Amino acid sequence: MSHVVFALGTNIGDRIGHLSYAIERISNHDEIAVSAVSKIYETSPVGGPEQENYLNAVISAESSLPAHDLLEFCHEIENARQRTREVRWGPRTLDVDLLIVGDEVSHDPKLLIPHPRAHERAFVLTPWETIDPLCVIPGYGTVKDCSQAIGSDGVWLSVFQIDGENSES
C-alpha cells in the first residue's frame, strides 16, 4: 500500500456536483482507502486566461494500485464530467491530479510525480495542510513547510461544503 494524494479543482458548471462526484468515485474504489478529505476552498485562478474562481479540495488515501493505474482512474473521473484540455491552465469542469504516490518519483512525461507544481501552489497546499501537514512531497519537504514558504494568498475557505446542505446553482 502506498500513501496517495489527489487534488480536485473545478470552475465550470456545478462545481459542488463535480467535486462530490470525484470524492464519491475515489471513496468507492475497491483499491483506494480514503483516510481524509479536506474542506473545500475557493481559490483565485493561477495562470491561464481570465476565468472564474475555482473550488479545490484534497484527498489523502492509501492504495495498492500502481501510479499509472491511479492516473488512468483520475482521467476516467475527469472524462465522466466532460473535462476538455483545450487551453493550458484554462477553465475546467473537473481536474483530478495525482500529487504523490508514496515516495515514488517519476519523470515520465505522461506521469510526473510528485506533481511538478504541487509544492508551489497555495490552492493545493492550503487544503492539503489541513488534513496531512507532515506528508512529505518527495524532493521538496513537508506539506506544512512548503505551504508556509509560499503563504495562502488567493485561497479562502469556501461557503460551499459537501455535507448535504450546501449546493450551488
Is residue 165 in a domain?
no
pLDDT digits 0-9 by tens, 25-67: 999 999 999 999 999 999 999 877 788 999 999 999 999 999 9
DSSP 87-107: STT---S-EEEEEEETT--EE
Active site residue 25: no
Active site residue 117: no
Model-level pTM?
Answer: 0.93
Is residue 144 in a domain?
yes
Is residue 166 in a domain?
no
Domain housing 10 = 2-157
Does the pLDDT value for residue 169 go beyond 80? no
* CATH number of the structural domain spanning residue 126: 3.30.70.560
104 to 70, 97, 128, 154, 169: CA distances (angstroms): 13, 15, 18, 30, 40
**Counted domains in the chain:** 1
Is residue 162 in a domain?
no
Q: What is the pLDDT of residue 165?
A: 40
Is residue 167 in a domain?
no
Active site residue 97: yes
Does the pLDDT value for residue 85 go beyond 80? no
Active site residue 83: yes
Top-confidence residue, 160 or 28: 28
Is residue 27 in a domain?
yes
Cβ atoms of 137 and 100 closer than 8 Å? yes
Q: Which three cell numbers stand for residue 13?
A: 458548471
Name the active-site residue from 15, 81, 92, 121: 92
Does the pLDDT value for residue 164 go beyond 70? no
pLDDT mean across residues, the chain? 92
Cβ atoms of 52 and 90 closer than 8 Å? no
Name the active-site residue from 81, 83, 121, 132: 83
Is residue 151 in a domain?
yes
Is residue 35 in a domain?
yes
Name the active-site residue from 15, 97, 121, 132: 97
Share of the chain above pLDDT 90, in %: 83
Name the active-site residue from 95, 103, 117, 121: 95
Contact partners, residue 127, CB within 8 Å, separation at least 6? 38, 39, 40, 41, 56, 57, 58
